[in-house]
Amino acid sequence: MTLQELQQEHAASLAALAAAGDAAALDALRVKYLGRNGLIPAMVKRMKDVPAADRPAFGKALGAWRAAFEAALAGRVAEAQAAEAPHAAFDVTLPGRWRGEGVIHPVSRVIEECAEIFHRLGFSVADGPDIENKFNNFTALNTAPHHPSMDASDTFWFDAETLLRTQTSPVQIRTMMANPPPVRIVNPGRCYRRDTTDATHSANFHQIEGLYVDTKPVSLADLKSTLAYFAREMMGPGIGVRFRPHFFPFTEPSVEVDFTCHVCKGKGCRVCKNSGWIEIAGAGMVDPRVYEHVGYDPDKVYGYAFGMGVERIAMIKYGIPDIRFLYENDIRFLSQLR
């Protein structure tokens, strides 16, 4: 064979590779050219018959052919495998599949933000169980023995002593029983009441409880300044607080706490029913009876407590008109939260 014939065979082998349709055809070509009795090994054996003067050029051309054929074969085999099993080929340059981006739920967002704001004032986060006993949820909180809130029509009871907590206030009791004063905690958590669901009520909702008890004097003014700081941080500058006298069994005196309406900034609008204020929390100075129940000496401690509805804050802050939007997982609502 002449050098020219060898180069023609080289070109023909590459053309055959290019034309091969599948893995089986490629394998046949591999056997034909590279196999034990293949063309290229046969040529190598016949090198000794080539005139000595032509041998170096012939050997070089043969090596080039082998290298070119092997490279082309590997490329075509990879192509055939990818075509036959598309998933085996992984293209790292393809953009990923977009799965949609989630957001933190408004209730969780408000809880995190509240905890953060109170943290700056030295409050730590306490925790308590959703399933409570009657003592922590009612008795120790100075609730009168036959108070209607204890009725089976208002509260989910498991038995005469065990219930789903109706408020986060029992965490006050747990905290004081486990720690000597001073205590300065907030507790976000779920509460349960036998309420019929409507635009502002849900049988399952969240509260944030706050409690500060110390052995040095703590006053209603301290409570007010703390809540005023919270109001500004949470709802923005220009938001003030006012206290209205109220009654809670576990505080004396007790107040309801209003924030300046964030929509009209106090001028009066539909949202605040023209009052300029929106009710946000219940609060007061911890009642001496509560201290007695937890083993604190009522003559030696001073403290305040407050409790606010998380959903209510979320609805006000994010302009959500109906509490049910927070729980029904309607994608038309959720996708607006981004």
Contact segment (CB under 6 A) with ligand DAH among 5-13, 22-30, 59-67, 299-307 equals 299-307
- 323 lies in the site for ligand DAH, by CB under 6 A: no
Contact segment (CB under 6 A) with ligand DAH among 68-76, 214-222, 300-308, 317-325 equals 300-308
For ligand DAH, the binding residue among 132, 209, 258, 287 (CB under 6 A) is: 209
Contact segment (CB under 6 A) with ligand DAH among 151-159, 212-220, 228-236, 281-289 equals 281-289
Q: How far is the CB of 283 from ligand DAH (least distance, A)?
A: 5
User: Is the bond preceding residue 180 a cis peptide, omega within 30 degrees?
Assistant: no
Contact segment (CB under 6 A) with ligand DAH among 3-11, 26-34, 157-165, 304-312 equals 304-312
- Measured from the CB atom, is 122 or 238 closer to ligand DAH? 122
Q: Are 141 and 165 in contact (CB under 8 A)?
A: no
Contact segment (CB under 6 A) with ligand DAH among 7-15, 156-164, 279-287, 320-328 equals 279-287
- 311 lies in the site for ligand DAH, by CB under 6 A: no
Q: How far is the CB of 178 from ligand DAH (least distance, A)?
A: 17
Report the C-alpha gap between 68 and 197 in whole angstroms.
77
- Measured from the CB atom, is 207 or 260 closer to ligand DAH? 207
- Measured from the CB atom, is 69 or 291 closer to ligand DAH? 291
Contact segment (CB under 6 A) with ligand DAH among 14-22, 129-137, 261-269, 278-286 equals 278-286
- 150 lies in the site for ligand DAH, by CB under 6 A: no
CB-based contacts of 323: which residues, under 8 Å, 6+ apart? Answer: 197, 199, 200, 201, 202, 205, 311, 315
- 189 lies in the site for ligand DAH, by CB under 6 A: no
Q: Which amino acid is at 193?
A: R
- 306 lies in the site for ligand DAH, by CB under 6 A: yes
Q: How far is the CB of 161 from ligand DAH (least distance, A)?
A: 20
For ligand DAH, the binding residue among 40, 241, 294, 305 (CB under 6 A) is: 305
For ligand DAH, the binding residue among 282, 287, 310, 312 (CB under 6 A) is: 282
- 223 lies in the site for ligand DAH, by CB under 6 A: no
- 283 lies in the site for ligand DAH, by CB under 6 A: yes
What phi and psi values does residue 28 have, to the nearest 5 degrees? Answer: -60, -40
Token pair listed for 188: 């976000």
Token pair listed for 255: 């107040």
Q: How far is the CB of 321 from ligand DAH (least distance, A)?
A: 22
Q: How far is the CB of 305 from ligand DAH (least distance, A)?
A: 3
- 226 lies in the site for ligand DAH, by CB under 6 A: no
- 171 lies in the site for ligand DAH, by CB under 6 A: no
Q: How far is the CB of 265 from ligand DAH (least distance, A)?
A: 26
Count the residues in the chain: 338
Task: List contacts with ligand DAH (CB under 6 A).
Answer: 167, 169, 209, 248, 251, 282-284, 305-307
